[in-house]
């Protein structure tokens, strides 16, 4: 039995690589998917495909359509969602992806530094599990496969 | 025919009063509901009901359960959700409420200052309508009742 | 027991008034709702609320968001949908509203002139009932209330 | 991970072949499905299977049942729907297929010539992405597989 | 709190009147709805509304569309479904209505003479309660309102 | 706006009366519903309606059908479910009712004595709020109606 | 792409073998599933597994549970349902299976001899396609795989 | 065609091994999944992953989140659920898992010793099949694969 895990959130660090390497080391039968990790391409994708837009709002609108399309396609294929909140940016799209996972009945692991517990308290309460590090999330994933 | 509108988001300003007054002036058949607007009571509600907690994380956990319960009860009764993003705080619970509205097929109006367009682009793309002011949101609400 | 009926489709003729009058004559306990019937206001509503747009595509985008919001709010409240196809325009939004009704499990009556049977054959096959006139649709509605 | 894409809309041009060739060139792991592309067989399929019908309306009714059956089977298997609107015909079944995709939570790409933006504005607003050419739709598909 | 009960099945006997009278005697807050009880009008309703049909199959097709429309509208409004199987006819539409109730999560009471237990065994197993008489079904309904 | 609250669980104590009295004192717009509170009638209801059964298993089967029917009808009408676990009995039907509430997206409050925290940990984790007394549950209910 | 087809209905004739052979001849990528075709074993399965029952009603109850379990497991795995109505028996379980298919959004082909059109009219109206022979049903299945 | 079966309930006996062996003997194409069977690790998993907790309630809370996550992931992948109730413990999580299976439309077999029929009567009534031994459950599973 194979699993697909969608890795939502922060795209400027290397946490996805860390998860993939560990899963590979433990030979977990998991395929990882996620958003475009090249931040500037993610912002430019609307203009890249449908051409230059009138202003930055329309540029954002065009990009968000294609990013949401990608997220929707890949999250539909997923069995599990892991969402990581970091220090930078507003990360409202991460909150949205995490909420979509809950709505689609995809079990959700939230990763956030401890000091963000207050602003994330409502979302954390809806997640299945909240942890503070990629390593802990990895242990939760591995627990699925343990028999004893 | 009567409607229930859930007003999600910012609780330290008076935007909900403004909406209620305008709806009352135009005699719109709408009942407005929303979160606890007293910010400190919202944060304290867990300890208020189940007693003092071990630390601030557990205090937040206790409060978030009761706030999420309230939101869930009231949003289930709603026909429309309006979510306002302001300047302060992380507002991840607002992003979560807006996403829940989308998941529950509750038509959603997003209000945000123009300069927040970039971090809100994915959520804005999923909302039915995004506007920049309470006044514009009010016009969208009124349009439902206009015959011509 | 009261019913809400959403009247989708053609907004340049007076078929909605005819239905409302007949329902009133027969004292049917029905509230009728539907789209903005003032065609130009429907097209202008985006700019009316959020201001002038860069070009006609963005003007249409702005208007369609608010019209879809209205349709979604009112169709969610409806027990039945009647969709009328006429001679003019592409009427793709009527096809979309009719399909939404099917998806939301709202029983659907389609009204269309007989000669449009070929292009409407797939949609007609999914509707509950297809008729050729407002008068026939009215008879279908009245049949719900008849005991014998 | 493999994907199934349903190609709805226009059956008298060769846009499906173009998409399949490009996907093949880029070795995308996609299986494409769609309606019967032989227009006259699509119209005749009812009589082909259940025999001659009384008139053209019943002939259409018989054909539409079998075409809708096929569409329903194949769309249920799909992860993504692409719907192309062209210049000819009423294309109400394309609007219906696009709306079904939305209702089934299948991410939807709309392809239409720019000048059709007005009649398609409401449907375009509900689609995930609207583009003007097969080439652009292809770029959106490819973006799903890009890591950076 | 008021309830709506859909009474499916046999239309040539007076079991609906018996239920309504008993509910009235016990002042139960229930509105009863159901199919057209005039059997010949139910069979003729297609031709009555859309005109004479080519043969009895098309006449049946036309009638069944309008009868299914009525059933769908009224069952959607119902909290409970009671389906009675009698001695006469194939009663496949009763089996279909009972199955629809199950699919729509409407609690279902089946009434059938004891000797029909064998052919109804699978459907009976899916119903909430199976009884042998209108009087027993009535007792089940009354039990909802009893406090002790 | 009125609410319906289903009170699941223990039927040999008077906790439902306590809740109803407090809600009445605070003039909360709530209608309370729940299971048959007469324990022996609840056990006998199958034989009461369909007659004596062959043995105690069939007697239980007959009763459980009618009790589940009642629960299903009343829970469908409810906006909120409160489930109380006490000291006596296996209470597996309470666990089932609480799980049904979760599945039906009805916000759920669990009441249990503190020392039962271990066997209830998984269910408690899925409930919206877990408290230790009727008084605390009452405070959670009242919080829905507070504006500040 | 492979398909699973559930073959509901009549178990005393050899129509399933006919369908399987034809599908095999045309190398259609279809796996066929269905009910226990040994009629007496289907009736005895309850007593076979849980032992002798008190009377024929309880024997039927025991068998129907296991038959419904099997049907539910296999129909959940299916992409398409074909239901055949024959001359013998009440066939209410066939009507139930066909209705379940509709409720589960599994495209449905109904096979029935022409003279049964009247009692099956409502169910036929809800099916995607109604045909009169196994051969015609087979042609509908094959049409899914034809490109032109 | 392969099946996944989730084995819920009692983790201190060897019933899962018995089922797996028998399935293997009969070469049934079934993959079995289930909860962590090491009881103490199941209780400790919260502290194992996120560190020591303040008291036993928080320890339980932490463990239940991760156990519920595991159950949710594996049950979503399952086609069938078998839940075994034994003599020891409260087993409220087993009742919850069984109820989740029902809510997710996963066919459910309940195994319980006969003398537990009374406290399990409501849950048993909602299960597809209730048996008294692993051997009987195994026979129900095998019946799915029998052709005659």
Could you read off the pLDDT of E103-141 as tens digits, one per residue? 999 999 999 999 999 999 999 999 999 999 999 999 999
pLDDT at C148 (0 to 100): 84
Q: Is there a contact between G45 and H143 if contact means CB atoms under 8 Å apart?
A: yes
* CB contacts, 8 Å: E33 with chain C: 1
pLDDT at E148 (0 to 100): 85
Distance CA D7, CA D75 (A): 9
H141-145 long-range CB contacts below 8 Å, 24 or more apart?
A: H141/H5, H141/H23, H141/H28, H141/H30, H141/H80, H141/H82, H141/H109, H142/H26, H142/H28, H143/G36, H143/G45, H143/G49, H143/G66, H143/G70, H144/G69, H144/G70, H144/G73, H144/G74, H144/H3, H145/H28
Q: Which chains touch C (3 or more CB pairs under 8 A)?
A: A, B, D, E
Q: Is there a contact between F95 and H100 if contact means CB atoms under 8 Å apart?
A: no
Q: Which domains does chain C have, with CATH numbers?
A: 3-36+75-145 (3.40.50.450)
The C-alpha of G140 sits at a distance from chain H's nearest C-alpha, in angstroms, of 23
* CB contacts, 8 Å: H35 with chain A: none
Q: Is there a contact between C63 and D117 if contact means CB atoms under 8 Å apart?
A: no
Element (H, E) at D137: helix D134-143
Contacts B–C by Cβ distance under 8 A: 52
With cut-offs at 50, 70 and 90, classify the pLDDT of residue F12: confident
Q: Which segments of C51-119 does DSSP mark as H helices, in order?
A: 56-76, 92-103
* CB contacts, 8 Å: H136 with chain G: 49-50
What percentage of chain F reaches a pLDDT higher than 90? 95
Distance CA F126, CA F110 (A): 10
Give, as one character, the DSSP assignment of residue B14.
S
User: Does the pLDDT of residue H12 top 90, yes or no?
Assistant: no
Which candidate from F1, F3, F128 shows the least CB-CB separation from B69? F128
- The residue among A94, A131, A136 whose CA lies nearest residue A112 is A131
Say what the alpha-carbon torsion angle F3, H93, H97, H124 is, to the nearest 10 degrees: -90
Contacts D–E by Cβ distance under 8 A: 6
**Average pLDDT of the residues in B1-24:** 95
* CB contacts, 8 Å: B128 with chain C: 65, 68-69, 72
* CB contacts, 8 Å: E130 with chain F: 65
What percentage of chain F reaches a pLDDT higher than 70? 100
Give the residue with greater pLDDT, B12 vs E20: E20
The residues with which C5 forms a beta bridge, in sequence order, are: C32, C80
pLDDT at F148 (0 to 100): 85
Q: Is there a contact between B131 and C4 if contact means CB atoms under 8 Å apart?
A: no
Per-residue pLDDT of chain C (148 residues; tens, 9 = 90+): 999 999 999 998 899 999 999 999 999 999 999 999 999 999 999 999 999 999 999 999 999 999 999 999 999 999 999 999 999 999 999 999 999 999 999 999 999 999 999 999 999 999 999 999 999 999 999 999 998 8
pLDDT at A148 (0 to 100): 84
Which among A113, A144, A147 is the top mutation candidate for probing chain H, defined by the most H β-carbons within 10 Å of its own β-carbon? A144
With cut-offs at 50, 70 and 90, classify the pLDDT of residue E12: confident
pLDDT at C113 (0 to 100): 97
C46-83 burial code (b ≥16 CB/10 A, e <16): beebbeebeeebbbbbbbbbbbbbbbbbbbbebbbbbb
Q: Which chains touch G (3 or more CB pairs under 8 A)?
A: D, E, F, H
User: Does the pLDDT of residue F110 top 90, yes or no?
Assistant: yes
* CB contacts, 8 Å: H58 with chain B: 54, 58
The C-alpha of G134 sits at a distance from chain D's nearest C-alpha, in angstroms, of 11
Which among F6, F104, F110, F129 is the top mutation candidate for probing chain B, defined by the most B β-carbons within 10 Å of its own β-carbon? F129
Q: Are strands G30-33 and B80-84 parallel, antiparallel or unpaired?
A: unpaired
The helix-helix angle for B39-50 and B56-76 (nearest 10°) equals 110
* CB contacts, 8 Å: A125 with chain B: 61, 64-65, 68
Q: Is there a contact between B69 and F129 if contact means CB atoms under 8 Å apart?
A: yes
Q: Under an 8 Å CB criterion, which residues of C touch B?
A: 4, 31, 33, 36-38, 41, 45, 48-50, 65-66, 68-70, 72-74, 76-77
- Whether there are 3 or more C-beta pairs closer than 8 Å between C and F is no
Q: Is there a contact between H50 and A146 if contact means CB atoms under 8 Å apart?
A: no
Which among F30, F140, F145 is the top mutation candidate for probing chain B, defined by the most B β-carbons within 10 Å of its own β-carbon? F140
* CB contacts, 8 Å: A69 with chain B: none
Q: Is there a contact between B109 and C50 if contact means CB atoms under 8 Å apart?
A: no
Among left, alpha and beta (phi > 0; psi -120 to 50; other), residue D51 is left
Helix (H, G, I), strand (E, B), or coil: what is residue B84? strand
The residues with which H84 forms a beta bridge, in sequence order, are: H9, H111
Handedness of CA D137, D141, D144, D148 (dihedral sign): negative
Which among A61, A85, A96, A102 is the top mutation candidate for probing chain B, defined by the most B β-carbons within 10 Å of its own β-carbon? A96
Q: Which segments of E1-148 does DSSP mark as H helices, in order?
A: 15-25, 39-50, 56-76, 92-103, 121-126, 134-143
pLDDT digits (tens, 9 = 90+) for H73-89: 999 999 999 999 999 99
Q: Is there a contact between E37 and C129 if contact means CB atoms under 8 Å apart?
A: no
| Strand ranges (E), chain B | 3-9, 30-33, 80-84, 108-111, 129-131
The C-alpha of F139 sits at a distance from chain B's nearest C-alpha, in angstroms, of 7
Q: Is there a contact between G107 and D72 if contact means CB atoms under 8 Å apart?
A: yes
Q: CA dist C63 to C42, D108, D124, Å?
A: 7, 21, 12
pLDDT digits (tens, 9 = 90+) for G22-62: 999 999 999 999 999 999 999 999 999 999 999 999 999 99
Distance CA G121, CA G99 (A): 13
- Whether there are 3 or more C-beta pairs closer than 8 Å between D and E is yes
Burial of C147 (0-12, 13-18, 19+ CB in 10 A): exposed
Which candidate from D37, D49, D74 shows the least CB-CB separation from G144? D74
pLDDT digits (tens, 9 = 90+) for E23-50: 999 999 999 999 999 999 999 999 999 9
Q: Which two tokens mark G67?
A: 């038959």
**Average pLDDT of the residues in E55-62:** 94
G9-43 burial code (b ≥16 CB/10 A, e <16): bbbeeebbeebbebbeeeebebebbbbbbeeeebb
Give, as one character, the DSSP assignment of residue G38.
-
- The residue among A10, A110, G117 whose CA lies nearest residue H69 is A110
Helix (H, G, I), strand (E, B), or coil: what is residue D7? strand
Q: Which segments of chain H does DSSP mark as H helices, in order?
A: 15-25, 39-50, 56-76, 92-103, 121-126, 134-145
What percentage of chain G reaches a pLDDT higher than 70? 100
The radius of gyration of chain B's CA atoms, rounded to the nearest angstrom, is: 16
Distance CA C29, CA C3 (A): 6
Q: Which two tokens mark D147?
A: 């890591």
The C-alpha of A25 sits at a distance from chain B's nearest C-alpha, in angstroms, of 33
Helix (H, G, I), strand (E, B), or coil: what is residue C100? helix
Number of H helices, E strands in chain B: 6, 5
What is the DSSP code string of chain A? Answer: --EEEEEEE--SSSHHHHHHHHHHHTT--EEEE-S---HHHHHHHHHHHH---SSHHHHHHHHHHHHHHHHHHHHHT-SEEEEE--SSS--HHHHHHHHHHHHTT--EEEE--GGGTTTTHHHHHHSSEEESSHHHHHHHHHHTT---
Distance CA D130, CA D113 (A): 10
Q: Is there a contact between E65 and C129 if contact means CB atoms under 8 Å apart?
A: yes
* CB contacts, 8 Å: A55 with chain C: 54
**Average pLDDT of the residues in F46-73:** 96
Task: Look at the pTM and tell me if it is higher than 0.90.
Answer: yes
pLDDT digits (tens, 9 = 90+) for B90-110: 999 999 999 999 999 999 999
User: Does the pLDDT of residue G148 top 90, yes or no?
Assistant: no
Contacts B–F by Cβ distance under 8 A: 52
pLDDT digits (tens, 9 = 90+) for A40-90: 999 999 999 999 999 999 999 999 999 999 999 999 999 999 999 999 999
G104 touches D48 (CB < 8 A): no
The C-alpha of E131 sits at a distance from chain F's nearest C-alpha, in angstroms, of 7
Contacts F–G by Cβ distance under 8 A: 6
pLDDT at H139 (0 to 100): 98
The C-alpha of F82 sits at a distance from chain G's nearest C-alpha, in angstroms, of 31
* CB contacts, 8 Å: F91 with chain H: 90, 92, 119
The C-alpha of E58 sits at a distance from chain D's nearest C-alpha, in angstroms, of 9
């Amino acid at each position: 039995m194979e699993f697909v895990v969608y890795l939502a959130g922060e795209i400027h660090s290397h946490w996805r690589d860390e998860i993939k390497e560990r899963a590979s080391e433990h030979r977990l039968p998991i395929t990882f998917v996620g958003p475009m990790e090249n931040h500037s391409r993610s912002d430019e994708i609307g203009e890249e495909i449908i051409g230059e837009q009138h202003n930055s709002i329309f540029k954002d609108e065009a990009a968000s359509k294609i990013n949401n399309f990608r997220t929707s396609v890949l999250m539909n294929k997923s069995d599990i969602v892991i969402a990581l909140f970091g220090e930078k940016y507003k990360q409202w799209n991460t909150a949205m992806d995490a909420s979509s996972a809950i709505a689609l009945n995809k079990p959700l692991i939230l990763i956030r530094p401890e000091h963000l517990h207050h602003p994330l308290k409502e979302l954390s309460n809806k997640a299945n599990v909240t942890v503070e590090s990629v390593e802990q999330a990895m242990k939760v994933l591995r627990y699925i496969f343990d028999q004893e």
